[in-house]
Amino acid sequence: MSVVDGSTWEPSRRELERRAVRRARARRDILVATVALVVVLGALVIGITSAPGWDRVRETFFNWDEAKASFPQVIKGFGKNVVVFLVAEPCILVVGAGVAVIRSTVSPVMLPFRVLAVVYADVFRGIPTILLVYLAGIGIPALELQGLTTNTLWLGTGALVVSYGAYVSEVFRAGIESIHPSQLASADTLGLSRWQSMVHVILPQATRRVAPPLLNDFISLQKDTALLSVIFVFEAMFSAQDYTNYHFNYTPLVVAAVLFIGLTIPLTRFTDWFARRMMRREFAGVAK
């Protein structure tokens, strides 16, 4: 066995050959990927544009002039979608985590709250979100209660929080239950109270674990802000429909769709990146 100083190591000819093979393969993979992409996209474009009704569809859905004319109105509405999303998201996190924590308590005093939490999750996950938005936006003002807002924007936001809070509470609960009982046992042996264990040991781990599905729910929420159109909130969807009704052209709906995509894609990429980073962290050390 020859002893070679590590610092003076030079790759052998065999290794250089191997690297060349790997590089050649990487180049070939890129070429294959490019060709596959062009062929598949090309086939899609040709398939759609050669459809018999394509000319009419292009005129009514993809009209550049109509897009330009409707853009100011649609983007103004879209601002409301963003506001609703930004307000609803933190509220949903609090409601979801709170309900999940209540459901995982064991104290007898907490029983009524546990029952309420179960009923809440069962009922509001069962009702279609669009019905909740209707009920909140039209039913609550009809009660004519003093001191309660009749602003449909905020009532609709509340409906989204209630509906998504129920979903997210189940995501959190799954995360809490996935933490191994030995974690709770070791927190117990350190003398932490149940509440302290939950706050300092269980919930941080659970949240990390369910972050990808949580972000997934938030991408879904971004789109569901368009449901507020059914209670006449002038958000992107409703603004686009409004324009459509006056100009008999559906292009504004496509404009709204593009705006939504522009918002969800960055969040989707962020979700992917976040999940990958977590994989690397939690499974580090496999390859010593």
Partner 1 sequence: MSHEALLEATGVRKTYGEKVVLDDVDLVVRPHDVICLIGSSGSGKSTLLRCLNLLEDVDDGVIEFEGREISDPRVDRRAVRSRMGMVFQSYNLFPHLSVLDNCTIAPRRVHGVPKAEAEQRAHDLLTRFGLADQASKHPDRMSGGQQQRAALVRALCTQPTLLLLDEITAALDPELVGEVLTIVRELAEQGTTMILATHEMAFARDIASTVCFLDQGRILEHGSPARMFSRPREERTRQFLARVLPQT
CB 93 within 8 A of CB 168: yes
Does residue 288 bind partner 1 (CB under 8 A)? yes
What minimum distance in Å lies between the beta carbon of 277 and partner 1?
A: 18
CB 227 within 8 A of CB 61: no
Residue 266 in tokens = 């960055």
DSSP string, 160-186: HHHHHHHHHHHHHHHHHHHS-HHHHHH
What minimum distance in Å lies between the beta carbon of 272 and partner 1?
A: 25
CA distance 106 to 55: 64
Total residues contacting partner 1 by CB under 8 A comes to 16
**Stretch of 4-12, 28-36, 100-108, 161-169 lying at the interface with partner 1 (CB under 8 A):** 4-12
- Select 14 or 280, whichever has its Cβ closest to partner 1: 14
**Stretch of 6-14, 80-88, 108-116, 256-264 lying at the interface with partner 1 (CB under 8 A):** 6-14
- Select 10 or 144, whichever has its Cβ closest to partner 1: 10
Burial of 77 (0-12, 13-18, 19+ CB in 10 A): buried
CA distance 263 to 83: 13
Supply φ then ψ for residue 249, to 5 degrees: -145, 135
What minimum distance in Å lies between the beta carbon of 10 and partner 1?
A: 9
What minimum distance in Å lies between the beta carbon of 1 and partner 1?
A: 6
CA pseudo-torsion sign 73, 74, 80, 82: negative
CB 166 within 8 A of CB 238: no
CA distance 221 to 198: 27
What minimum distance in Å lies between the beta carbon of 9 and partner 1?
A: 7
What minimum distance in Å lies between the beta carbon of 181 and partner 1?
A: 13
- Select 281 or 288, whichever has its Cβ closest to partner 1: 288
What minimum distance in Å lies between the beta carbon of 141 and partner 1?
A: 52
Q: 49 to 88, contacts with partner 1 by CB under 8 A?
A: none
x-or-dash string of contact with partner 1, 7-36, rule CB under 8 A? --x-xx-xx--x--xx--x-----------
Does residue 280 bind partner 1 (CB under 8 A)? no
Does residue 284 bind partner 1 (CB under 8 A)? no
Choose among 137, 198, 202, 199: nearest CA to 163.
137
**Residues in touch with partner 1 (CB under 8 A):** 1-4, 6, 9, 11-12, 14-15, 18, 21-22, 25, 287-288
